[in-house]
Amino acid sequence: MNQTPTWCPGCGTYVVSAAFKEAILDLNLKPKDVVVCYDIGCSGNMVNVLDVCGFETLHGRSIPVACGMKAVRPELTVIAQAGDGGLLNEGLNHFVHAIQRNDPITLIVNNNLVFGLTAGQQSSATPMGAKAHASKGENKVNPLNVVDLAASSGAKFIARVPETDFKLMHDVIKKALKFKGFAVIEIIQPCKIWAKDFPKIIFESVGKPARNQTELIGKHNLAGLLYEGKNV
Mean pLDDT of the chain: 91
Long-range contacts of 2-7 (CB under 8 A, 24+ apart): 3/48, 3/49, 5/45, 5/48, 5/49, 6/45, 7/42, 7/45
Mean pLDDT computed over 222-232: 89
Reference 114, options 39, 8, 196; nearest CA is 196
Does 22 have pLDDT greater than 90?
A: yes
Q: Comparing 71-85, 118-132, 199-213, which segment has the lowest mean pLDDT?
A: 118-132
Neighbours of 181 (CB within 10 A): 18
Angle, to 10 degrees, between the axis of helix 62-72 and the axis of helix 92-101? Answer: 30
Q: Write down the pLDDT at residue 193.
A: 84
Q: Is the pLDDT of residue 231 over 80?
A: no
Residue type, 162: P
> Which pTM does this prediction carry?
0.94
pLDDT at residue 118 greater than cutoff 80: no
Q: What is the pLDDT of residue 227?
A: 97
Domains along the sequence of the chain with CATH: 13-228 (3.40.50.970)
% of the chain at pLDDT higher than 90? 68
Give the whole-angstrom CA distance, residue 47 versus residue 79: 12
Residue 59, CA distances (Å) to 56, 113, 199, 200 in order: 9, 16, 27, 28
DSSP state letters, 12-46: THHHHHHHHHHHHHHTT--GGGEEEEEPSSSGGGG
Range in 55-59, 72-76, 86-90, 125-129 with the lowest mean pLDDT: 125-129
If pLDDT is split at 50, 70 and 90, which confidence band does 210 have? Answer: very high
Give the three-state DSSP class for 98. helix
Per-residue model confidence as pLDDT tens digits over 160-194? 999 999 999 999 999 999 999 999 999 999 988 88
Packed helices 166-178 and 13-26: angle between N→C axes, nearest 10 degrees: 50
